[in-house]
Structure 1
Amino acid sequence: MNIGEKVDTLQAEIDQKRQEIRSDHYSMSIGELISLYQQEEIEIHPEFQRFFRWSDYQKTKLIESILLGIPIPPIFVSQREDGIWDVVDGLQRLSTIYEFVGILKDENGKQVVPLVLQKTEYLPSLTSKIWEDKEHPDGSIKGLTPTQRLLIKRAKIDVNILLKESDTFAKYELFQRLNTGGSRANPQELRNCILVSLNPKLYRWIKQLSADENFQSCISLSDKTLEEQYDVEILCRFLVLRNIDENALSKIPDVDTFFTDKIQEIANNDNFDMEEEKAAFEKTFQLLGECMGNDSFRKYDVAKQKFSGGFMLAPFEAIALGIGYNYKQYNATCSDIKNKIIEIWSNPEFTSAFGRGKDAKARLPQLIPLGRKLFVS
C-alpha cells in the first residue's frame, strides 16, 4: 500500500466519523439555563455530585467571576431522544448557579440548602451574601440587590450541544475526553458517571450491591478509597470478569479502557441478567464474609503464618472470581476455604502472576483461569 492510499484511508475514517456526529451551539443567558432546570428540560445528574466536589469557596469564585464579567468556560450537553439535555461537562458550574439561586435538588428530589457566599480577594463584601433575602426584598440585609441578580441572570454562557442524531459512541467519547485528566475524575468515577448517564437503573443497582455488608467486610477499605468509589470499581471488576472468555484476557490493550468499555457494554445490554449476577455476588461474599472477613484479600505471610496489610487486587482476582465463577456448585466449608486461601500464597502460579513489574494486563490472563481451577468443590 502506498502513502497516497494510507492518506485516503485516514480521510475516509475521518469523513465517516464526522458524519456520525451532529452538533450545535448557543450562547444562553444564565436566566435561560435557570428556566430550563426549573422546567426539567436539562438534567445535571445530581448523582455526579459525589464525584466532582467543589468547596464553597470555589463556588463563590464562580459567582464572583460572573459578577465581574469574567467569561465562563462553555458547557457541553447531549440531547436525548425526548429532547432533554444531559449535561456532559459543566456540572459544577450549573449546579453552583442552581444552588446559589436556591433551586438545586439532590438525587432524592430534595432541595439543597442554598449557597451562602464567602469573602473573596476582589469582592470581600460577598461575605454571607445569599441570592435573595425575601424578608428584605431590597437586599439590604444579606441578599443580592435586584440589579445584582439581573447581572447574573443576563450573563451569557456558551452551550455546545451534541444532537440526538449523533452516533451513540459520540456522547460516551465526549464525556470521557472532557472529564479525563488532572484531578477531575479517576477512571472509576468516570465509569460511574457514564453509568448514570447511560443506565441510571443499573448504576443504582450496582451502588446497592456495593453496600452489601459481607462485601464491605471482605474488602475493608479506608474512608479515602471509599470516597474515591474504589468499592464500586472492585464490584465492577467482579461483574466484568466473572464469566469472561479466558481467551479475551490475553488481548486486553489497556486495562482502564477495557473496563470502561465493558461497563459501557453492560449498561447498553438489555439482556444483562441482574438476578444471576446478584446471586453469584451474594453467594461469593457470603462465603468469604463468614469464613474470612477482612482477611479475604490481604497478603498472607507464609513464614509468620498470618494475614496483614490492606486489600489487594491479585488475591481478589483469583479468589473472589474463582468462587464467583463456580458459585452454583461451590459448597466448601469455612475450614476448606481458609486452607485454600492460605495455600494459594505458596502456589508458584499465583505468586509469579504479580509483583514488581507485573501489571493487571499481565496478571489477569494468569489469575482468572487459576482461580476458576482452584475453587471448585
Structure 2
Amino acid sequence: MTDLKKLTDQISARAKEIRTDGYSMSIGEVLSLYRDGDIEIHPEFQRIFRWNDDQKSRLIESILLGIPVPPIFVSQRRDGVWDVIDGVQRISTILEFTGEYRDEEQIVHPPLILRKGEYLTELEGYTYSTPQGAADAKQFDDALRRDFKRSKLEFSIITKESDQNAKYDLFQRLNSGSVLSPQEARNCLLVMINRELFHTTTELSSNTNFLNCIPLTERQEEQSYGNELVLRFFCQEEFTGGVTELQKEYGEYLTDWMKTTAERGEKLNQRLFNETFELLDNTLGEDVFRRFDGNKHLGPFSISAFEFVTTGVARNLATWKERGTDQLKERIQSIWTASAFRSNSGTGVSPRRRVPRIVAASREYFGV
C-alpha cells in the first residue's frame, strides 16, 4: 500500500466519524428552540466568555445591517438537544437583547441596552422592547422587531450519529486561537460532559484553606487557575504511570484525564482534598509552596512545590495528621535541599518529564 493510499484511507475513515449538516435559521426560530429547551447554551460559560456591552452592541448592529456573522457550531445530543460548542456569546447576546436570557439559577437577565454602533450611531440607548419599570426607554417598534427576528444565522451541526468525542475535539480546535486559557477551555468541556463535576471543582477551588495556600493573582482567578490546580491535585493523586515520560504534553494529559473521569461519572474525593489543604494551611499557610532558603520563605508560588507537596502529603495524610504540623513544616521546608525534589524540578525539566518523577519521589519522600 502506498503512502498516499494510506493517507486517503485514513481521511475516509476519520471523516466518517464526524457527520455534519448545515442550514440557516431565523433568530425567531432560535428563540423558540431556547424557550422549549431544545438548544443548550450552558449559562456556566458566561463566567468564561466575557463580552462587554460594546461587543454585544456590535453584534446586534451587524445583524441589523445584514453583515455576515460567523456560523454557530452545535452538537446534537442523543436526546436531540443542540449543545452550542462555538457561538455561545453570540446566542447569549441575542437572548439578552430580546429579554430571554436566563442564568444558571434560571433568573431572567435585564434586557441589553445598546451602545452606539460604528455605523448605526443612533442605536445608543435602544432596547428590543421596553424593560419593566422603564417606560421612557427607547425601544424598537414592531417592524424593527420583526426584521430582527427574521434575520438568519448559519448553523453547522454535528449530528448525533457522530463519534461522541467529536464535539469536544471540535470545541478545542475552534477555540484554540481564542482568548480562553487552557483551563477555561477545560471548564467548557467539563460543563458539556459532566456539569456536576464542573460545579464540584469550582466549589473546591473556593475552599478557604486552599485559597490561603494559593494566593492567586487577579489574572489567575480570571483564567480559572484555581480550577486547574484542583484538577492537578486529583490527577496526580490517581497517577499510576511510573516514572516514564508522558507520551503527550502535560496539558493534554490533564485534559484527557478530566474527560475520562467526567465521562465515567466518577466522584472526586472531596474529603481528601479538604483535609489535605486544612493541614497544609495550618502548617505553613501561604508559604507552603514558596521557596525556603534556610531562614525564610520567599519568591512566588512554585508549581513544582505544589505538585511535590500535595501529592506526597495526600498519599500519606493519616501519617502527617498524627505527626502534627511542626514535623510537617520541617519536612516541607527540607524539600528545597532534597535531591528527590531538586533533580526533578526547575526550569530545565519539562512538565511531561517532571510530573511522573515528582509523583513517585514525593510519595516516597513524605512516606518515610
The answer on 1:369 being equivalent to 2:360 is yes
TM-score, scaled relative to structure 2: 0.95
Q: CA deviation at 1:249?
A: 5.0
1:41 match: 38
Identity of aligned residues (%): 40
Q: After TM superposition, give the deviation of residue 363 of structure 1 in Å.
A: 1.7
Q: CA deviation at 1:295?
A: 0.9
CA change 1:199–1:141 in 2 (3 A) is closer
Shift of 1:351: 2.0
Q: AA paired with 2:142?
A: P
Q: Secondary structure at the match of 1:345?
A: helix
Residues 263-311 of structure 1, C-alpha deviations (whole Å, 9 max, x = no match): 10111113x243xx21221221111011111111112223xx1112332
Runs of 4+ aligned residues of structure 1 deviating over 3 Å after TM superposition are 134-137
- Identify if the C-alpha distance between structure 1 residues 134 and 350 changes in structure 2 by more than 3 Å, giving closer, same or farther: closer
Matches within 5 A, 1:1-377: 4-133=1-130, 141-183=137-179, 185-247=180-242, 250-270=245-265, 272-274=266-268, 277-302=269-294, 305-331=295-321, 332-376=323-367
Structure 1: gaps of 5 or more residues: none
**Once the 2 structures are TM-superposed, how far is the Cα of residue 19 of structure 1 from its aligned partner?**
1.6
The number of residue pairs the alignment matches comes to 367
Separation of aligned partners in 1, 2:247 and 2:299: 29
Using structure 1 for the length normalisation, give the TM-score.
0.93
Shift of 1:101: 0.4
**Residues 1:101 and 1:268: Cα distance change in structure 2 (over 3 Å):** same
In the TM superposition, what is the alpha-carbon distance from 1:136 to its structure 2 partner? 12
| 8 Å CA contact 2:131, 2:137 repeated in 1 | no
Which AA in structure 1 matches 2:159?
A: L
Cα RMSD for the two superposed structures = 1.9
Return the alpha-carbon distance in structure 2 between the equivalents of residues 358 and 29 of structure 1: 53
Moved more, 65-74 or 278-287: 278-287
Amino acid at match of 1:8: K
Question: In 1, distance between residues paired with 2:101 and 2:113?
Answer: 14
SS in 1 for 2:153: strand
Q: Which amino acid aligns with 1:333?
A: G
Q: Distance in 2 between matches of 1:134 and 1:121?
A: 24
Q: Equivalent residue of 1:158, what SS?
A: strand
- Distance in structure 2 (CA, Å) of the matches to 1:192 and 1:349: 33
Q: Are the counterparts in 1 of residues 127 and 137 from structure 2 also a CA contact under 8 Å? A: no
1:52 aligned counterpart, secondary structure: coil
**Are the aligned partners of 1:210 and 1:216 in contact in 2 as well (CA < 8 Å)?**
yes
Point out where structure 2 has 5 or more consecutive residues left out of the alignment: none
